[in-house]
Structure 1
Amino acid sequence: MKNFKNNIILFSSYFHALLFTYAAVSKLLDFENFQIQLAQSPLLSAFAGIISYIIISIELLLAVLLCIPKTRLFSLYGTLFLMSGFTVYIYLILNFSDFIPCSCGGILEELDWSEHLIFNLICVILAWIAIYLLEKSLSVNWKHTFIFTSLTIFLASTTLHILYLNSEYIIKKDNNFTRRFPHHPLIEEKTMDLGVNSYYFAGIHQNEVYLGNKTSPLTLISIDQDLKKMRKHSIKLENNNLIFKSLRIIIKSPYFYLYDGTVPIIYRGKIGQSTAKVISYQDAYFNQLKVIDSTTFIIRTESSKTKKQVLGILNLQKKTRLNLSENIISTNQKNIFEADGQLIADEKNLYYIFYYHNNILKADFHLQKTEHLKTIDTINKANIKTINLENGHQKMGAPPKIINSNSVVFNGILFNTSHLIGKFEDKKQWKKSTIIDIYNTNQRKYWGSWYLQNRGNNKMSQMLISKEHMFVLIGQEIVKYRIAQSLQEQFKTGEAENQSKE
């Protein structure tokens, strides 16, 4: 019986020594990928750098100590601590994470996360049995063994929980700029060749995606969401004697709207009909516009008083149609360019994403209730060199560093194109992709990121989001992606990873 107990102790010791050796060597041989996988962890993203070195060091140290009789008991407690921590980590991933990352690779590469959990539990039990048998042979009271093994497991669980909370704090509050990459949040389904690359998204109505054409501004294209059929619609303007710089179309069911902004005019027509009539003339010049309803619009324009970019409400039903909010986007701005950004909206809120720093303005459609959010990068001030001209105007002295661009929002879920690379990200992958960061603005949270692959030399130019799909324009193609269930749930529940807050 004594030999049998000794064999179990030796088996547990050598088994874990072999396991740790193989795991550590596997990580070292592909160390960069190991760090990237840790950085993508929903629980330990912020500590990926230091943890990658600590884990390998501990595994190699334990592998040696497990083979030395005098240090075997100590190293078995270390094994129990480490394997308990791994087990708790996997349990949290499976039960509390918004997404499950890719497998960790190495010796267990072929196992899924549930099988990982079972394997780790077996290792924990095996280590505990070896400790019990070894301490029993040393005449240690079983109560002592029970207390110290329980304490070891508790400390492992507590340590992991503390790391998780601190990692979350850094990502949420300190903007450590470590991205997370959920497993396949969007999956390509179909592509259609449009023939030219001058199209832009006008909107979605019922089961059709609508495209405008920059080179043919009075042409509206409708495509069924299966990307099988394309129809061309010609638009006639009630007043077509005006000269436009860039006439654009917006779909807001049941109407379509045409505007330029350099000409103070807005047209409206019913979807399915060809004529668009003037509904606003000489009310406002503007450079961006969002349709709220058939008679209400949010615009961005230049203030005649301050010469800065400002937001305003154009309400065609009120006596004073235009009401400007001077300080919403230009507060504390040193120059006119710092307030530059993109105006977007969903069914409930308005959003203004700044191009040159990491701020997002969220507001109601009355521009009264506002919130200030941030993207996950660390650039909170625009780095723009300006030159003051003799006529009082400003111009950029050098090309600015663009932080954010090309954003869309659906049910409070913001998809933002970022121009900055985060920690532990592959530079080669970055160069051949467009990075899209996803935020839940209702919960002020960052959910995750996604690489959208280029097609040849063509990058994505625009996105459009529906409940189940994302459509993108790349070169002369429109590509349809299915939104994974884990991301669709964000449209309903608003559960996601935290976004930093001012």
Structure 2
Amino acid sequence: MILNTNKGFKKYLVEVICLLYILLFVYAAVSKLLDFENFQVQLGQSPLLSVFAVWVSWLVPFTELLTAVFLVLPKLRTLGLFTALSLMTMFSVYIFIILHFSDFVPCSCGGVLEKMSWNVHLAFNLIFIMLACIAVILRSHTGTISAVNLTPALTGKAMLLDVLLSTVVIIVLFLISEDSMHNKNPFIRRFPQHPVMFERSMDLKFNSYYFAGFSNNRIYLGNYTTPLKILSMDSRLQDRKIIKIVFDSKKLRFTMVKIKISAPDFYLMDGTVPAIFSGKTMDWKISKELKELPYFTLAEPIDSTTVMIRAGNGKDGSHTLGVYRANKSTATRYNSKLLQVQIDGIFDTDGMLLFSNKLKKMVYVYYYRNEFIVAGTNVALDYRGHTIDTITRAKIKVAYLKNSTIRKMSAPPLIVNAHAAISGNLLFVNSKTQGQFEDEKLWKRAFIIDVYDLNKNAYLMSFSVDKIENKKLLSLFVTDEHLYALMENELVVYKLRDIIKEK
């Protein structure tokens, strides 16, 4: 019906469509440039364009303004309409991929359109795509002199090619960005909407507690000052019980006792003795001692006879990872190649020893570099993974005292990975390094947790947990349903949302 209207009306309709596009693009571009830093941060958090945030943040408003100029000039108006069609197609494909193929859906943003949901935003874009097509068709039938002159027959093919190429561009950018973010991350974090939700907190009165384990929907906390007493409670921090371990210490000189609970067993460990005792949670009585243990600095029991350990028996006392088996003639087997020395072999290889019961893998996360190690229960290396920051070498200074018999840190070290926890195939790391496009205010008010998939050796996402009265984060513990955080004397519980649980 439109094509049968008079020539004057066609030109008038094209003018109106061009004016709408000019208003849209000028407003959108100016809004981005006036709040450019926030726009760049939003692109950095995009599930599609994170890797390209820097140049896309300049290219988009520039292209929008250039398109508006094309639409103002009569001879360039057809070119401007094709450019507008391309932009709106890209924006629409971008939203469609976010809604149907992205790991998460970010907050909707962008000036007046900020109040729109993603589905409404997509419908808005599709209307403007239709308007651009109508304007291009009308101009091809009016015979208007332009820098781009197409016959009505070629116009349809040109529009189809424009839409297809624009769609392909966004799909290619998405695939490249996804591969880079998960496997070759350029230190850009992704913060999906609320992956964890605060549930409750509890004042423990003391800051000497640590996570001892989790079983039958109950969390267990050990206490360094009262090592034979365990505080137990349910996930709602109710039904609290004090458990006393029955143990005849045989006058052993314990200095740093730690309890580990892996039902139905529990373990009492001290690497300075060295000693590991075990018992059953049904009666909390020590009933067994592991014999011929080496001295160790960290230990993670796998079962009643097998323990992953870190010992200081390498060259010049450097750290070495190994496995102790009580039923073997050679009780302890080490792999001196797992921990790689950069400076002194002790401070530079310091880190956290974890074990995944689901994967039956040991994970060692370095404190001072962007690396973690995944190995089997035979201490054979599976792979070396990397956290998303760029600090590959430990930034520490070591001083040697008393003829090199004593070594100390001579300057505060740069901590990369402060705390870590494992749940199934997911590794949770409390990072101390700020990434690209991240707000300083966020880092001042919250702790940042990065999540990695150990099966895929891939970064997944990040989230923040707000600080409580500016207290320090001491440790993390993650179950299938909850994340627990010890912030000095405060035990805080967060509910894991589906975006994490489904991973």
- Establish whether TM, by shorter chain, passes 0.5: yes
Which residue of structure 2 aligns with residue 330 of structure 1? 340
Equivalent residue runs for 1:290-439 within 5 Å = 290-303=300-313, 305-330=315-340, 335-347=345-357, 348-389=360-401, 390-392=403-405, 394-439=407-452
Contact 1:65 1:75 survives alignment (8 Å): yes
Stretch moving more, 103-112 or 302-311: 302-311
Give the distance between the partners of 1:470 and 1:432, measured in 2 at CA. 18
| C-alpha displacement of 1:171 | 3.5
| C-alpha displacement of 1:57 | 1.4
| C-alpha displacement of 1:350 | 0.9
| C-alpha displacement of 1:142 | 2.5
DSSP 3-state at the match of 2:115:
coil
Which residue of structure 1 aligns with residue 147 of structure 2? none
CA RMSD of aligned residues (A): 1.9
| Residue 76, structure 1, aligned to residue 81, structure 2 | yes
Stretch moving more, 270-279 or 421-430: 270-279
Contact 2:342 2:348 survives alignment (8 Å): no
Counterpart amino acid of 2:362?
L
Contact 1:239 1:278 survives alignment (8 Å): no
Which residue of structure 2 aligns with residue 255 of structure 1? 265
C-alpha change, 1:334 and 1:285, in structure 2 (3 Å) is closer
| Residue 270, structure 1, aligned to residue 280, structure 2 | yes
| Residue 197, structure 1, aligned to residue 207, structure 2 | yes
C-alpha change, 1:335 and 1:323, in structure 2 (3 Å) is closer
| C-alpha displacement of 1:26 | 2.2
DSSP 3-state at the match of 1:339:
coil
Contact 1:440 1:446 survives alignment (8 Å): yes
| C-alpha displacement of 1:235 | 1.5
Cα deviations by residue, 1:278-319 (Å, 9 ceiling, x for unpaired): 412451111111011111100001115552100111111222
Contact 2:335 2:380 survives alignment (8 Å): no
Contact 2:181 2:188 survives alignment (8 Å): yes
Give the distance between the partners of 1:310 and 1:478, measured in 2 at CA. 33
DSSP 3-state at the match of 2:251:
coil
| Residue 122, structure 1, aligned to residue 122, structure 2 | no
C-alpha change, 1:324 and 1:393, in structure 2 (3 Å) is farther
Give the distance between the partners of 2:121 and 2:379, measured in 1 at CA. 51
Which residue of structure 2 aligns with residue 485 of structure 1? 498
Give the distance between the partners of 1:481 and 1:222, measured in 2 at CA. 18
DSSP 3-state at the match of 1:109:
helix
DSSP 3-state at the match of 2:474:
strand
Give the distance between the partners of 1:67 and 1:162, measured in 2 at CA. 32
| C-alpha displacement of 1:391 | 4.0
Contact 1:249 1:258 survives alignment (8 Å): yes
Counterpart amino acid of 1:372?
R
Identity %: 40
Give the distance between the partners of 2:218 and 2:183, measured in 1 at CA. 41
| Residue 8, structure 1, aligned to residue 13, structure 2 | yes
Q: 2:479 aligns with which of 444, 466, 481?
A: 466
| C-alpha displacement of 1:384 | 2.5
Q: 1:144 aligns with which of 142, 151, 154?
A: 154
Contact 2:291 2:326 survives alignment (8 Å): no
Equivalent residue runs for 1:152-171 within 5 Å = 152-171=162-181
Give the distance between the partners of 2:218 and 2:97, measured in 1 at CA. 41
Contact 2:264 2:282 survives alignment (8 Å): no
TM-score normalised by L of structure 1: 0.93
C-alpha change, 1:133 and 1:374, in structure 2 (3 Å) is same
| Residue 475, structure 1, aligned to residue 488, structure 2 | yes
Counterpart amino acid of 1:358?
N
DSSP 3-state at the match of 2:347:
helix
Cα deviations by residue, 1:65-114 (Å, 9 ceiling, x for unpaired): 32332221111111001111101111111111111111123111111112
Cα deviations by residue, 1:166-190 (Å, 9 ceiling, x for unpaired): 4345445654111111111111122
Stretch moving more, 56-65 or 100-109: 56-65
| Residue 89, structure 1, aligned to residue 94, structure 2 | yes
| Residue 289, structure 1, aligned to residue 299, structure 2 | yes
Give the distance between the partners of 1:119 and 1:287, measured in 2 at CA. 61
| C-alpha displacement of 1:441 | 1.3
Contact 1:22 1:107 survives alignment (8 Å): no
| C-alpha displacement of 1:157 | 1.8
DSSP 3-state at the match of 2:363:
strand
Give the distance between the partners of 1:338 and 1:476, measured in 2 at CA. 29
Give the distance between the partners of 1:373 and 1:14, measured in 2 at CA. 53
Contact 1:433 1:453 survives alignment (8 Å): yes
Contact 1:175 1:378 survives alignment (8 Å): no
Which residue of structure 2 aligns with residue 449 of structure 1? 462
Cα deviations by residue, 1:108-141 (Å, 9 ceiling, x for unpaired): 1111112222211111111111111111212843
Cα deviations by residue, 1:454-485 (Å, 9 ceiling, x for unpaired): 01121322211111211112232222211111
